[in-house]
Amino acid sequence: MGEIVGCGLVSHVPTVMLPLETRLELNEGKEISLVPGFHRLKREIFDVLKPDAVIVFDTHWFTTVEFVVTAHERRAGKYTSGELPRGMSQVPYDMKGDPELAGLIAEEVTRHGTRCTAIDDPSLPIEYATVNVNHYLDGGEAWLSIGVCQTGETADFLRVGAGVGAAIARSGRRVVLLASGSMSHRFWPLSELPKHEASDPIHIRTPEARAADLERIGWFEAGDHARVIDTMDAFMAFGPEGRFGHYLMMVGAVGGRDCKGRGRRFSDYENATGTSQVHVWFDRPEGGWTAAA
């Protein structure tokens, strides 16, 4: 019997891939908290749990007519971002895959009512929402990515998560889930960006977006995932990255509205050119997660 041994909402912001001196220059001489947060996650969580596999719900991988999960034996190469090639260029990556787990995910997600396909095409692009997180947390386990279907809605994302949870239970694997993306996600206009590059959350695009993010972080810390899910329509006004599908798939795999897992922050709540960034980890509750439907 497989199990989800832990899960987290993590930032993949490109700033984490910049040299330290550049990070300090952008952030008024201070290190952003996300990088030491990644080091803490690796040391305190990943090196302790030693999972068999990590599944990344990747907000930079957009699909349209179905959900897709990577099914490669291995993904390896060098990554250059089309969005930010100056900051992310020729980044090496080498990730073992798990085709059997990917096949179970596609089968169970589809059985739960939302079409999903496992793809092992060697030319399938990889996105930095996976590469940047893997760069800090990889420990030799298998890494799979699941894209965010841009036509998906809250109920679709939750069904995908339930299917992922059922697939893991069948797999015999010990798995970590990572929701890779931000909360509110609106950028400043290009002409104003240079004034808002520091990590201080005062630079989040609007005070209302900042308040909505912090409210939900409080619910994460209280284990009140039902309230996060029930207020998704209101949160959509602040443009959560990937329609917050990364979080919804993650929480759908560990019980959805019934999940009581309490969040622990592994970083500050930070700004990145108007968007919100934070690492929040959810430990497996004593007695286990609520079973996927």
Task: Check whether 69 has a pLDDT greater than 50.
Answer: yes
Residue 290 counted as domain residue: no
Task: Check whether 5 has a pLDDT greater than 70.
Answer: yes
Residue 291 counted as domain residue: no
Reported as a pLDDT band with limits 50, 70 and 90, residue 160 is very high
Q: What is the mean pLDDT of residues 248-264?
A: 97
Residue 80 counted as domain residue: yes
Q: What pLDDT does residue 293 have?
A: 44
Residue 28 counted as domain residue: yes
Residue 288 counted as domain residue: no
The conformational region for residue 181 under phi > 0 = left, psi -120 to 50 = alpha, else beta, is: left
Q: What is the mean pLDDT of residues 145-161?
A: 98
CATH number of 29's domain: 3.40.830.10
Residue 293 counted as domain residue: no
Q: What pLDDT does residue 288 have?
A: 84
Q: What is the mean pLDDT of residues 197-211?
A: 95
Q: What pLDDT does residue 292 have?
A: 47
Q: What is the mean pLDDT of residues 81-101?
A: 95
Residue 289 counted as domain residue: no
Domain hosting residue 114, numbered range: 3-283
pLDDT tens for 15-41 read 999 999 999 998 999 999 999 999 999
Q: How many CB atoms lie within 10 A of CB 38?
A: 22
pLDDT tens for 207-233 read 999 999 999 999 999 999 999 999 999
Helices (H), 70-198: 99-111, 128-137, 154-171
Domain count for the chain: 1
Q: For 73, what's the count of Cα atoms within 13 Å in the CB-facing half-sphere? A: 0
| Percentage of the residues of the chain whose pLDDT score is greater than 90 | 95
Residue 292 counted as domain residue: no
What pTM value is reported for the model? 0.97
CB 30 within 8 A of CB 107: no
Nearest partner of 277 among 10, 8, 2, 18, judged by Cα: 10
pLDDT tens for 169-184 read 999 999 999 999 999 9
Nearest partner of 40 among 270, 293, 264, judged by Cα: 264
